[in-house]
Amino acid sequence: ERPRVWVSQPLFDDIVARLGEHFEVTATPEVTRHAPAAMAAALAAADGALVTLNDPIGAAEIAAAPRLRAIANVGVGYNNLDLPALSAAGILVTNTPDVLTETTADFGFALMMATARRIGEAERWLREGQWRQWSFDVLLGGDVHGATLGILGMGRIGRAIARRAGGFGMRVLYHNRSRLDPQVEREHAAEYVGFDELLARADHLILVLPYSPQSHRLIDAAALAKLRPHATLTNIARGGIVDEDALCDALEQGRLAGAGLDVFEGEPALNPRLLQQRRVVLTPHVASGSLATRRAMVALAVDNLIAALGRGPNAGRPPSVVKAGIRD
Ligand code: GLV
Ligand code: GLV
């Protein structure tokens, strides 16, 4: 009997079809927010699952899934998955690093620039019909070139952003749980600083760190108070890293020049205060969303699942396994 695989969301049909060469596949035809009971029922019948960041899987779903051996997450972040519970149950977890690094860095840089130069606000202003006459002092922003970029989280994506910053003549500061090798620091012209110093010195701060209990609301009122009033904050990591109410307070009180947010704590629900802010650029979690990269992510997740369930050319050796307790 062929292993059974559940696909939690519609992805690219032509790529997902490869699963059918090895497995009995149950696909979800429409984008779905699976209720916990429905998720548990789907997983209960599966040997493997292809899931996305829309699909939280915790101890209860795992307890109900005796056959489950592998979960392939489409995405580099995997905070939707209870990793300790999965590893305790012997279930292999894979993600999709590397294929999305450059695309996500492009978007992070674009969002930072859009925030500094107030592009979202300028476009709204024009569409509202407010442009009656060109004037010298309308919508003035901050510079990106020559400014100091603070990168919080210096993984693959953080380093790709640092490389872009070099082309803009920026000074790059970073903070990370562990310091990079001196040679890698030199290659990226990046200077390691403490968390407080990063906040105090950045003209533009960008968040590219994994979401975990340690990073939950790391950017809270106290952290925001350390930023300079002309600074911008860009978040392409996970919404829960920022205290959104504290961010709105800082914006309303002029203690921060602007924010570019691609991720939100309760997404797709939005904190209504954020929608009231003028100096923000808000995007719907699309940083890895070029067509080529989204296809590459699904292809890698499919390869991972085939290999994790012992089939295909990499049988038993999935290309990107997430190790419990280890993030790189
Ligand atoms: C998207 O947010 C991802 O983690 O890939
Ligand atoms: C995230 O883990 C990254 O690739 O930077």
pLDDT in tens, 23-39: 999 999 999 999 999 99
Pair (193, 45) in one structural domain: no
What amino acid is encoded at 38 in this protein? A
Phi-psi region of 126 (alpha: psi -120 to 50; beta: other; left: phi over 0): alpha
Place of tokens 């797709």: 268
Q: Are 98 and 159 contacting, i.e. CB atoms less than 8 angstroms apart?
A: no
Is 61 a residue of the active site?
no
pLDDT in tens, 298-324: 999 999 999 999 999 999 999 999 986
Is 327 a residue of the active site?
no
Pair (165, 277) in one structural domain: yes
Establish if 327 belongs to a structural domain.
no
Q: Exactly one of 238, 279, 294, 311 is catalytic; which is it?
A: 238
**Looking at the CA of 76, which ligand is closest?**
1
- The percentage of the chain sitting over the pLDDT mark of 70, rounded to a whole number, equals 98
Average pLDDT over residues 105-128: 98
Distance, CA 230 to ligand 1 centroid (Å)? Answer: 29
75 contact partners, CB below 8 Å, separation of at least 6 = 52, 53, 95, 96, 288, 297
Establish if 318 belongs to a structural domain.
yes
Establish if 328 belongs to a structural domain.
no
Q: What is the pLDDT of residue 177?
A: 94
The encoded tokens of residue 235 equal: 């978040």
Pair (241, 262) in one structural domain: yes
pLDDT in tens, 146-183: 999 999 999 999 999 999 999 999 999 999 999 999 99
Q: What is the pLDDT of residue 79?
A: 95
Looking at the predicted structure, is the pLDDT value of residue 287 above 80? Answer: yes
Q: Whose CA is nearest to atom 1 of ligand 2?
A: 155
**Is ipTM strictly over 0.85?**
no
Is 265 a residue of the active site?
no
Establish if 190 belongs to a structural domain.
yes
Average pLDDT over residues 126-147: 96
pTM attached to this predicted model: 0.95
For ligand 1, is residue 75 a contact (CB within 6 Å)? yes
Establish if 195 belongs to a structural domain.
yes
Nearest CA-CA partner of 21 in 273, 323, 305, 262? 305
Pair (234, 196) in one structural domain: yes
Q: CA torsion 3→9→15→17, rounded to 10°?
A: 40
Pair (11, 94) in one structural domain: yes
Pair (80, 114) in one structural domain: no
Establish if 28 belongs to a structural domain.
yes
Give, in order, the Cα–Cα distances in Å from 238 to each of 101, 102, 218.
Answer: 16, 18, 11
32 contact partners, CB below 8 Å, separation of at least 6 = 8, 9
Cis peptide leading into 268, omega within 30 of 0? Answer: yes
Establish if 12 belongs to a structural domain.
yes
For ligand 1, is residue 77 a contact (CB within 6 Å)? yes
CATH number at residue 218: 3.40.50.720
87/15 Cα distance (integer angstroms):
28
Give, in order, the Cα–Cα distances in Å from 248 to each of 88, 233, 275.
Answer: 40, 12, 10
Looking at the predicted structure, is the pLDDT value of residue 326 above 50? Answer: no
Q: What is the pLDDT of residue 224?
A: 98
Ligand 2 closest atom vs CA 101: 4
Residue 41 belongs to domain spanning? 4-99+291-322
How many separate domains does the chain show?
2
Nearest CA-CA partner of 205 in 252, 170, 156? 170
Pair (135, 247) in one structural domain: yes
Q: Exactly one of 171, 267, 273, 327 is catalytic; which is it?
A: 267
Q: What is the pLDDT of residue 294?
A: 98
Report H helices in the chain. 13-16, 36-44, 59-63, 83-88, 101-116, 119-127, 156-167, 182-187, 195-201, 221-226, 244-252, 272-276, 291-308
**Looking at the CA of 208, which ligand is closest?**
2
Question: How many contiguous H segments (helices) and E segments (strands) does the chain have?
Answer: 13, 13
Pair (204, 127) in one structural domain: yes
Pair (117, 39) in one structural domain: no
Distance, CA 25 to ligand 2 centroid (Å)? Answer: 30
Ligand 2 closest atom vs CA 155: 5
Pair (94, 179) in one structural domain: no
Look at strands 190-192 and 204-207 and give their pairing: unpaired
Pair (217, 310) in one structural domain: no
Pair (105, 80) in one structural domain: no
Establish if 303 belongs to a structural domain.
yes
Q: What is the pLDDT of residue 324?
A: 62
